Homo-oligomer: A and B are copies of this chain.
Amino acid sequence: MAAQPLIRRLCVIGVGLIGGSLARALREKGEVAEVVGSGRNEDNLRAAVRLGVVDRYDTDPARAVAGADMVVIAVPLGAIEPVLRAIVPSLSPGAVLTDVGSAKGSVVADVERVCGQVLPNFVPGHPIAGTEKSGVDASFATLFRQRRVILTPLVETAAAAHHLVKKMWELTGAEVVDMGVRHHDAVLAATSHLPHMLAYTLVDTLARLDDRAEIFRYAAGGFRDFTRIASSDPTMWHDICLANREQLLEMIALFGADLERLAEAIRTGDRAAILATFQRAKRARDNLYLD
């Protein structure tokens, strides 16, 4: 334990992959004196205690946040509004509140709806990390190491709250960057939300073919990588695509038009157009990652 830990009492609402990994990382650093968990699944909360991820839990979020100086909401986006309604009246004066939702516009709107304003001590956040696994069993302390965490503070956000949330994520080994709410949602629609829609749709399309058993038998390594994200939690992703509906639909439309254009090039045997598409894509992908 650090002589003066950054956080005295951390309350994590939703002790899953993200919430659990954050608690683990901060405990490992000795930068949190006490961790209180909350959530709807008591089995999961008991597991969190057993695994040493939290010290104790309370299934009532209003009681769980009592006396916490840092509250992290790590539930699916669709559950954020009811959680806010439950906890806001019980927050300690000065408590800092943040979330980990994959869309930020909807969370800011939730806060405004519940509180009638943007809370100065609320710092919208989004760690760009995760696996296709869910639950506290899947959490690990190094999940955020060398990953990016995006914060989307508003003009109303208090500098001290922003600073504390930034510091908390840096302690997990993440690089923290600030971004505007709409810009965050546009970037994530392109790099994460659209790819998940494509992976889910592809697997579902194939799973409804008559010879699906045969088809999946011959799915090789490329398919395995390509469809890994289709194992992600359906409820979480259902919430994300509705929360970022407008920007996601725009990306789906862009992609759909490009796919139709490629299909047309294949149909008409337009070799130059096909090759140009693949070459541009390969160049972009190769420059992006050196693996």
A203 on interface, CB distance cutoff 8 Å: yes
B275 touches A234 (CB 8 A): yes
A284 touches B203 (CB 8 A): yes
Q: Report A165-203 CB contacts with B as 1/0, cut-off 8 Å.
A: 000000000000000000000111011101111111111
Q: What B residues does A285 contact at CB under 8 A?
A: 203, 227-228, 230-231
Q: Report A191-231 CB contacts with B as 1/0, cut-off 8 Å.
A: 11011111111111111110110111011111111111111
A279 on interface, CB distance cutoff 8 Å: yes
As for how many copies of this chain the complex holds, the number is 2
| Stretch from A61-69, A80-88, A111-119, A256-264 at the B interface | A256-264
| Stretch from A15-23, A29-37, A265-273 at the B interface | A265-273
Q: Report A115-157 CB contacts with B as 1/0, cut-off 8 Å.
A: 0000000000000111110000000000000011010000000
> Given the interface contacts A201-B277, A216-B284, does A249 sit within 8 Å of B267 by beta carbon?
yes
A249 touches B266 (CB 8 A): yes
Q: What B residues does A43 contact at CB under 8 A?
A: none
Task: List 5 tightest A-B contacts by C-beta distance, closest first.
Answer: A234-B278, A207-B284, A203-B281, A204-B281, A225-B225
Known: A198-B202, A205-B255, A238-B271. 14 other contacts (CB 8 A): A147-B220, A188-B218, A190-B206, A190-B215, A191-B223, A200-B262, A204-B258, A204-B280, A216-B284, A228-B291, A231-B286, A232-B278, A235-B275, A252-B266
